[in-house]
Amino acid sequence: MIPAQTEVVIIGGGPCGLMAANELGRRGVRVLLVDDKPGTAFNPQANATQARTMEHYRRLGFADEVRQQGLSPDFPTDIAYFTRYARHELARFKLPSARDATTLVKSLKGAWSAAELPHRVSQKYVEAVMRRHAEGLDGVSVHYGWRMVALREFDEGVEVDLEETATRHRQTVRARYAIGADGPRSVVRQHLGIRYGGETGVQRDFMGGRMYAIYFRAPDFYRVVPHAPAWMNVSFNRDRRAFMAAVDGKGEFAFHTQLHADEDEAGLTEDDAKAMLHAATGAPFDVTILSRLTWTAGHCLVADAFSTRRVFLAGDAAHLFTPTGGLGYNTAVEDAVNLSWKLAAVLRLQAPAALLDSYAIERRPLALRNTAYARTFADSLGLYAPAAQIEDDTPAGEAARASAGAYLSEHGRREFNIPGITFGGRYDGSPIIVSDGTAPPPDVPNDYVPTASPGGRPPHLWLDDGRSLYDTFGFDWTVLRLTESAPGARSFLDAAERRGVSLDVVDVAHPDARDLYGADLALIRPDQIVAWRGDSDADAAGVLAQALGGAVSRSHAASTPGAAR
């Protein structure tokens, strides 16, 4: 049954909406999630889960479950570039398998010191894991096959009219807040009258314009291709450019190709789709088409606003990427993480409603940053044209392949070795970050310098007992004591207790901790962001008040969840 009243209604059941349901549900917030699809994704869609996203999955307890999905544990997660998949290999950027990643991560330092490494897995598998965990939480109600038809916003809450897609049965739900996580054609965003801004309609030789996606099964593929398997396979020739992700490592693939000017997507047949696959491969093989659709590359769009009083946009509803770098899905997950703890704090009277203003202040600049990085990668790949001789078995062809290989090898490193993008997103200038005046390291995509300068990801350490430092953090707020002589943080505990906030104090027994964090104490937010650092807890009450958006007025959330008028 659809509940008539809830605290937060989430429109959209992709990774962003499901992540918000998990975050809110674990904080005791009553949630209704609806999506007009019959269930979680069938098509592979996004295929790269970045390390920061995996750290959030670890915090929620299902990173290991996600890492077991998709490719087999020993399947190579390389990115490989070919003239055609069965012909010349041009370049290969090697990355560890899922099994190797779990071991390798504990030996890495510097830019890649992390609790988790990236995982190459189709979104369809991740969504299924996230849905199971959300449905297991008390107070979380998940309903696919329902769509939003109207939304009304009031001072105290919202009313959402829903319609069951199969029966056309309608029901109205009242809630305190709504989240529009309903994708690039967001009904919620359109209802609010919020427009995308940025760049769209970009045309490139590849990754700009009309694209054709084919989800297919072909166990024979690995028998006709003489090269080592790879997770991402890119064809680079003057006839049929494409990228293709291995979905299960056994013969299922997600293939995307640029449509030519004379190819009408409305008239393409299954035989045409098979011909595209054979052209990109350079050899025939048996194919079973599972689905096919068109989409458009060349977007670099961010919504002009991320919220109204009671309604928030997140994920593709708030920003739309060309999928180079795999940044859209991962940015969407962090939207949900950022917004959810704030909604929970306001609903539980731990923070004033003004805290919610920081969602757009923090996340919109990150959306602008990440869409710009994705555009750069799309330009690098899509504007680099194959030489006419690249497939010739001649000295000129060999030289063309060597030149392309050198370029694509460097491109692969730039697009897929991105600790700076993954870990370096910051909230400098946010009113809920207690700055100490220090300047963070430069924001560059392919390098990351760990820093505890407030506003960014906490520097990571592996402890002597084998645990990640992140495993010691509390689910909500954490104070790290980074030396034995650091203040006991009693003032933070008292301030948290007065506000009804859960706060853990963690003694970090590691010789490098104090130097890495640059202070005796550090306050870590629920989304694992450094909110403050210092050597004294004398102003703990003021620090926590700023980090929670200011003083609490007990009247700001006094209305009941059903009082939407």
Q: What is the DSSP string of 78-135?
A: -EEEESSTTS-EEEEE----HHHHHHHGGG--GGG--S---EE--HHHHHHHHHHHHH
pLDDT at 551: 82
Alpha-carbon distance 215 to 222, whole Å? 16
What digits encode the pLDDT tens for the residues 322-342?
Answer: 888 889 999 999 999 999 999
- Going by C-beta distance under 8 Å and a sequence separation of 6 or more, which residues neighbour residue 228? 76, 78, 80, 92
Confidence of residue 553 (pLDDT cuts 50, 70, 90): low
User: 301: helix, coil or strand?
Assistant: strand
pLDDT at 397: 98
Alpha-carbon distance 347 to 266, whole Å? 48
Give the mean pLDDT of 183-200.
96
- Going by C-beta distance under 8 Å and a sequence separation of 6 or more, which residues neighbour residue 434? 454, 523, 531, 532, 543, 546, 547
The angle subtended at Cα 25 by Cα 24 and Cα 29, nearest 5°, is 70
Percent with pLDDT over 70 in the chain: 98
Confidence of residue 552 (pLDDT cuts 50, 70, 90): confident
C-alpha closest to that of 214 among 331, 329, 308, 293: 293
- Specify the amino acid at residue 41: A
pLDDT at 245: 97
Give the mean pLDDT of 459-485.
97
What digits encode the pLDDT tens for the residues 295-322?
Answer: 999 999 999 999 999 999 999 999 999 8
pLDDT at 562: 38
pLDDT at 526: 98
What digits encode the pLDDT tens for the residues 209-265?
Answer: 999 999 999 999 999 999 999 999 999 999 999 999 999 999 999 999 999 999 999
pLDDT at 192: 97
Q: How many CB atoms lie within 10 A of CB 228?
A: 12
Task: Please check the confidence at residue 154 and state whether its pLDDT lies above 50.
Answer: yes
Q: Is the dihedral of CA 245, 247, 248, 253 positive or negative?
A: negative
Task: Please check the confidence at residue 136 and state whether its pLDDT lies above 70.
Answer: yes
Give the mean pLDDT of 153-159.
97
Give the mean pLDDT of 504-515.
96
pLDDT at 323: 87
pLDDT at 560: 34
Task: Please check the confidence at residue 117 and state whether its pLDDT lies above 50.
Answer: yes
pLDDT at 326: 83
pTM of the model: 0.96
- Specify the amino acid at residue 95: L
Average pLDDT, the chain: 95
Helix residue ranges, H only, 261-315: 270-281
Helix residue ranges, H only, 252-394: 270-281, 327-347, 357-382
Confidence of residue 201 (pLDDT cuts 50, 70, 90): confident
What digits encode the pLDDT tens for the residues 407-444?
Answer: 999 999 999 999 999 999 999 999 999 999 999 999 99
pLDDT at 555: 43
Task: Please check the confidence at residue 545 and state whether its pLDDT lies above 70.
Answer: yes
C-alpha closest to that of 231 among 214, 247, 207: 247
C-alpha closest to that of 333 among 118, 141, 139, 100: 118
Task: Please check the confidence at residue 271 and state whether its pLDDT lies above 80.
Answer: yes
236 vs 82, 251, 294, 374, CA distance in Å?
Answer: 6, 21, 20, 19
Task: Please check the confidence at residue 173 and state whether its pLDDT lies above 60.
Answer: yes
Confidence of residue 557 (pLDDT cuts 50, 70, 90): very low
Distance of alpha carbon 210 from the chain centroid = 24
Give the mean pLDDT of 122-150.
98
C-alpha closest to that of 314 among 326, 300, 328: 328
Task: Please check the confidence at residue 288 and state whether its pLDDT lies above 80.
Answer: yes
Give the mean pLDDT of 395-405.
98
Largest CA distance in the chain: 78
pLDDT at 325: 83
Report which secondary-structure segment, H or E, holds 210: strand 209-217
pLDDT at 273: 98
Alpha-carbon distance 374 to 414, whole Å? 11
